[in-house]
Amino acid sequence: MEYSLNELQKTIRQMARTIAEEKILPVRATLDEKEEFPWAIMKDLADTDMFRVFVPEEYGGLGGGCLELCLVIEELSRVCPGVAVSYAGSLLGSFDLLKYGSEEQKRKYLPDIASGKRLAAFGVTEEEAGSDIGNIKTTATRTDEGYVINGTKRFTTNGGEADIYTVVVLTDKARGARGASVLLVEKDTPGFSFGRKEKKMGIRTSATRELVFEDCLVPAENLIGREGMGFIMTVNLFDYTRPGIAAQAVGVAQGALEAATDYARERIQFGHPIISFQAVQHMLANMAIDVEAARALVYAVARTIDSGGKKFSKESAMAKVFASDAAMRVTTDAVQILGGVGYMRDYPVEKMMRDAKITQIYEGTNQVLRNTIALELRKKKAS
Ligand SMILES: Cc1cc2nc3c(=O)[nH]c(=O)nc-3n(C[C@H](O)[C@H](O)[C@H](O)COP(=O)(O)OP(=O)(O)OC[C@H]3O[C@@H](n4cnc5c(N)ncnc54)[C@H](O)[C@@H]3O)c2cc1C
């Protein structure tokens, strides 16, 4: 489908596609097998200015918006969603800086993030605070020297690999979620270390790790935004970044559709290519419908965000839910179309099915996001 992309958007998409095909494709199975962080590819992405896409020009970026970012994530995910989320994790970790950071904080950190010299990461999730992010327990006590952080974050994407961490902490424990704030912590800060590294079903090349804070002192100027705004900032952050997860889902679904179509053209059974059987044709048709419908919704929401729309919580959730459910259907059917070999690691579709699953879980599970959508519907009568 024609999406009327402008010249810059087409260039960005083509560059991301080239990196995906030339640099990621040859190593994706090895990265998955070894569960190795894709540092060489992060360097390729940095060298081709891909980290600049989401940073404003005054801080060394290209000044792109949500759509440009989605195009990069989609192309990388078409080949390897694990690489894509390592890239996108740096946006997640820098978003609060971009939106709420002081001029001084932006000048200090954003140029290095834009050049890809330093990766960023974002941590809100804790053992007792998953879907219920208002239940975080990590504290940051204000002292004359700054904030002293204690607690553990879990499942942090880019944990251990990134240099810059934005973490949600309680600066006023008594007020619960209303006492939450966002602090920036640099990797080598004393009292900050990394715990358990998760062994995952999919997106195995990405790093998912615990952040451990033990009397970790950070300067008061590392507060992003204002004290007490952390919960609202986090809810807002995910409204902006969920289309990126949806783009990840569109990319992996597109990759699976292509792999299944190619295989169905080549595979001969009963004297005919299996693509000549109507049962297979209809599966491929449904997969193509899913991919295109998801893409159209993701781009539409991204454009709404980029045009300065103020209320897009519901739409952002819809894009993430629809695209991730579609990705799960499409990748599962891709395995089915490849038959026995689809189940084998020699072919890429089993990895795609494993990689697709996470898109239904992180940045708000699809059940919780359906709650969000329903809540909006309950608020006012449909016009
Ligand atoms: C690979 C990976 C990377 C991640 N990266 C990050 C990161 O970079 N930073 C970060 O902060 N977090 C990250 N997360 C955390 C992720 O966002 C959470 O795992 C997710 O929000 C779900 O929380 P949970 O795992 O605690 O599940 P739970 O909240 O325990 O949910 C368990 C089940 O209960 C359901 N459920 C819970 N509450 C409700 C409800 N009210 N209504 C209906 N159903 C409900 C859920 O849908 C789910 O099916 C990552 C997680 C993974 C697996």
Could you identify the residue written with the tokens 């697709």?
A: 356
Hey, what's the torsion of the CAs at 324, 330, 261, 67, to 10 degrees? -10
**19's tokens:** 């990196």
Are 283 and 330 in contact by the 8 Å Cβ rule? The answer is no
Q: Can you give the pLDDT at residue 107? A: 98
Q: Can you give the pLDDT at residue 19? A: 98
| Residue of 74, 75, 161, 363 marked active site | 363
The tens digit of pLDDT for each residue in 317-334 reads 999 999 999 999 999 999
Q: Can you give the pLDDT at residue 310? A: 85
Percent of the chain at pLDDT exceeding 90:
97
Question: Is residue 383 over pLDDT 70?
Answer: no
The tens digit of pLDDT for each residue in 83-142 reads 999 999 999 999 999 999 999 999 999 999 999 999 999 999 999 999 999 999 999 999
The tens digit of pLDDT for each residue in 23-77 reads 999 999 999 999 999 999 999 999 999 999 999 999 999 999 999 999 999 999 9
Centroid of ligand 1 to alpha carbon of 31 (angstroms): 25
Residue nearest to atom 29 of ligand 1 (CA): 131
Q: Can you give the pLDDT at residue 376? A: 92
The tens digit of pLDDT for each residue in 140-155 reads 999 999 999 999 999 9
304/296 Cα distance (integer angstroms): 12
Q: Kindly report the average pLDDT of the chain as a whole number.
A: 97
Q: Can you give the pLDDT at residue 21? A: 98
Question: Is residue 381 over pLDDT 70?
Answer: no
Q: 160 CB less than 6 Å from ligand 1?
A: no
Q: 156 CB less than 6 Å from ligand 1?
A: yes
Question: Is residue 313 over pLDDT 80?
Answer: yes
Burial 265-299 (b: 16+ CB within 10 A, else e): eebeeeeeebbeeeebeebbeebeebbbebbebbb
Would you call 376 a catalytic residue per the annotation? Answer: no
In a 13 Å sphere around the CA of 300, the CA atoms on its Cβ side amount to 13
Residue nearest to atom 24 of ligand 1 (CA): 130
Question: Is residue 382 over pLDDT 70?
Answer: no
